[in-house]
């Protein structure tokens, strides 16, 4: 993927005001005619061009194909043709155009059912052949392996990933940013999206438990002078446009990944509203609060509209907590932002520590009750592995404050994860890599990696975004390996019923920096 600046210079004519670094706030850029390549974050020449193709598993016989357009589509236009023979896409699934306040695009979610497990399908979204559109291939996906299938497979896990390029992680920083951990990208390094693309044949799907795009950093970036000192006036209009531009750009940037690999997401604090609960402009002594957010940029609205995770079709909480089975693995996503139950206030809720004023998405205790019944129903002789993804960590070498270490999340979830012998818990939120020992309520499991009873706990929020990385404190007693200077992602390989390997991959060159294999007897 090209850096945005040079891509824009090559492909675009600029019909509106453009700031020094190329981010448009007054109105979105429009692509030139017949470039045959869509530039991320721009409005395509043909407004019905299907963009942002993204897949999500439902189960081993169903898949969601989602995409966005810049114009509303009628019933026959909003369709996906697909089949097992690339020469004959003989099946059709339909979607409806849906939008929300401040969105400039329409979301579509087509549900493909009646599929065979572990089978290749080819698909094209309607209007792939549209006038003036970019070159869009017929994409291929593979359905989930059937529950109980013991064949080996790998997953990519990435947390805390924003846009790459001129309004995200690049080789420069805003003038107000500095310090050892506001690390810019080195010119010779691949970024995390590029590394995931280079490695695409090494995993089946991508799991992203929270902090997706960092569109809510538009305000912070403007204040920090990243778009040019004083070039952007922060107000409701510029924030609404800047947020949507970054959001659209992110979905465009990940399309080479999401069009062929299911992308399973969970909520993070940066999905909640337009400015992460508030941003201070200390130079001008202005504190921006959630009141600068237009209604479409609050309460996880963009997140809810863009994704369709497994679950009941009509339930708003489907993208917040859910589970599915992949062969011998039961995969669970939790919501650490809202709905912690037990009379706890989630950090992103009204009254929560982060002033995000969002949620709840279920009744009191709904998530924790769901978690208990979901784990109780797992037949470990069929899916011996149970792995859980939750945005915020509780075991991490960081200052013990609520915005960093989520002790309420530990209180809400850890007893249940231990009770049901969960094998692995992964988090992000802290922008660094830390592999802990298998842990149970601050106690290291005496078995270590050799058939521990407690879950292996890993934090990997090092994917990268505008702010760089976070500094960790000196390793705590339970921390086995930590790295706070390298952008990276994780690869999990389920070899068989007893062996699971975790790798920390450096985005710069896709090399493996840390590798560990967990052995579990799993004699259920």
Q: Tokens at residue 437, please?
A: 């020992």
459 binds ligand NAG (CB under 6 A): no
Smallest gap from residue 286 Cβ to ligand NAG (A): 6
- CB closer to ligand NAG out of 391 and 520: 520
Integer Cα distance of 179 and 437 in angstroms: 30
310 binds Fe ion (CB under 5 A): no
Residue 135 binds which one of Fe ion, ligand NAG, none, with CB within 5 to 8 A depending on kind?
none
Smallest gap from residue 202 Cβ to ligand NAG (A): 15
Burial of 96 (0-12, 13-18, 19+ CB in 10 A): middle
DSSP at 469: -
Helix (H, G, I), strand (E, B) or coil at 169: strand
Under 8 Å between Cβ of 297 and 243: yes
User: Which residues in 242-301 contact ligand NAG (CB under 6 A)?
Assistant: 280, 285, 287, 294-295, 299
Residue 96 binds which one of Fe ion, ligand NAG, none, with CB within 5 to 8 A depending on kind?
none
Residue 474 binds which one of ligand NAG, Fe ion, none, with CB within 5 to 8 A depending on kind?
ligand NAG
232 binds ligand NAG (CB under 6 A): yes
26 binds ligand NAG (CB under 6 A): yes
- The 10 Å Cβ neighbour count of residue 34 is 10
CA-closest candidate to residue 319, choices 339, 299, 333: 333
Provide the strand spans (E) within 354-418: 385-390
Binding mask 200-219 for Fe ion (x = CB under 5 A): -----------x--------
CA-closest candidate to residue 426, choices 276, 258, 146, 206: 206
64 binds Fe ion (CB under 5 A): no
Judged by CB under 6 A, the residue of 2, 61, 194, 202 near ligand NAG is 61
Integer Cα distance of 454 and 117 in angstroms: 32
Residue facing Fe ion at closest CB distance = 429
Binding mask 350-379 for ligand NAG (x = CB under 6 A): x------xxx-x------------------
Residue 269 binds which one of ligand NAG, Fe ion, none, with CB within 5 to 8 A depending on kind?
Fe ion
Judged by CB under 6 A, the residue of 71, 495, 513, 516 near ligand NAG is 495
Under 8 Å between Cβ of 414 and 439: no
Under 8 Å between Cβ of 49 and 37: no
Helix (H, G, I), strand (E, B) or coil at 1: coil
Under 8 Å between Cβ of 269 and 276: yes
User: Which residues in 235-294 contact Fe ion (CB under 5 A)?
Assistant: 268-269
Our CA angle for 87, 88, 91, nearest 5°, is: 150
How many residues make contact with ligand NAG (CB under 6 A)? 46
105 binds ligand NAG (CB under 6 A): no
429 binds Fe ion (CB under 5 A): yes
Residues of this chain that interact with Fe ion (CB under 5 A) are 211, 268-269, 429
């Amino acid at each position: 993927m090209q850096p945005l600046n040079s891509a824009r210079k090559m492909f675009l004519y600029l019909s509106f005001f453009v700031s020094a670094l190329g981010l448009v706030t007054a109105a979105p850029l429009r692509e030139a005619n017949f470039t045959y390549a869509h530039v991320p974050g721009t409005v395509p020449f043909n407004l019905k061009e299907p963009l942002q193709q993204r897949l999500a598993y439902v189960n081993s016989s169903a898949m969601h194909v989602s995409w966005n357009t810049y114009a509303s589509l009628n019933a026959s236009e909003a369709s996906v043709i697909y089949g097992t023979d690339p020469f004959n896409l003989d099946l059709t699934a339909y979607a409806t155009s849906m939008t929300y306040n401040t969105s400039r695009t329409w979301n579509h979610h087509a549900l493909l059912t009646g599929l065979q497990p572990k089978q290749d399908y080819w698909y094209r979204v309607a209007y792939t052949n549209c006038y003036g559109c970019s070159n869009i291939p017929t994409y291929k996906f593979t359905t989930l392996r059937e529950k109980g299938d013991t064949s080996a497979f790998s997953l990519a896990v990435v947390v805390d990933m924003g846009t790459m390029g001129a309004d995200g992680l690049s080789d420069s920083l805003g003038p107000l940013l500095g310090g050892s951990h506001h690390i810019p990208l080195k010119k010779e390094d691949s970024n995390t999206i590029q590394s995931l693309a280079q490695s695409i044949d090494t995993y089946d799907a991508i799991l992203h438990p929270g902090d997706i795009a960092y569109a809510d950093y538009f305000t912070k970036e403007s204040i920090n002078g990243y778009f040019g000192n004083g070039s952007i006036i922060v107000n409701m209009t510029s924030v609404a446009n800047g947020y949507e531009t970054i959001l659209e750009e992110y979905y465009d940037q990940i399309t080479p990944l999401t069009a062929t690999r299911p992308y399973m997401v969970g909520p993070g604090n940066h999905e909640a509203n337009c400015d992460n609960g508030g941003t201070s402009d200390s130079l001008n002594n202005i504190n921006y609060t959630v009141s600068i957010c237009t209604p479409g940029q609050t309460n996880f609205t963009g997140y809810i509209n863009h994704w369709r995770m497994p679950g009941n079709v009509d339930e708003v909480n489907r993208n917040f907590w859910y589970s599915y089975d992949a062969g011998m693995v039961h995969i669970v996503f939790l919501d650490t932002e809202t709905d912690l139950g037990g009379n706890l206030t989630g950090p992103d809720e009204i009254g929560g520590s982060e002033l995000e004023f969002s949620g709840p998405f279920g009744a009191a205790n709904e998530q924790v009750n769901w978690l208990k019944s979901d784990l109780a129903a797992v037949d470990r002789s069929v899916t011996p592995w149970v792995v859980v993804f939750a945005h915020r960590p509780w075991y991490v070498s960081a200052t013990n404050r609520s915005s960093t270490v989520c002790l309420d999340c530990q209180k809400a979830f850890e007893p249940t994860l231990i009770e049901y012998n969960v094998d692995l818990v992964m988090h992000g939120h802290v922008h660094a890599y830390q592999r802990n020992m298998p842990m149970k309520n601050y106690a290291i499991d005496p078995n270590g990696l050799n058939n521990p009873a407690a879950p292996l706990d890993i934090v990997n929020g090092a994917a990268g975004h505008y702010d760089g990385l976070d500094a960790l404190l000196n390793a705590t007693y339970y921390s086995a390996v930590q790295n706070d200077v390298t952008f990276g992602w994780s690869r999990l390989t389920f070899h068989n019923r007893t062996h699971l390997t975790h790798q920390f991959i450096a985005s710069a060159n896709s090399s493996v920096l840390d590798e560990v294999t967990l052995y579990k007897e799993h004699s259920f």
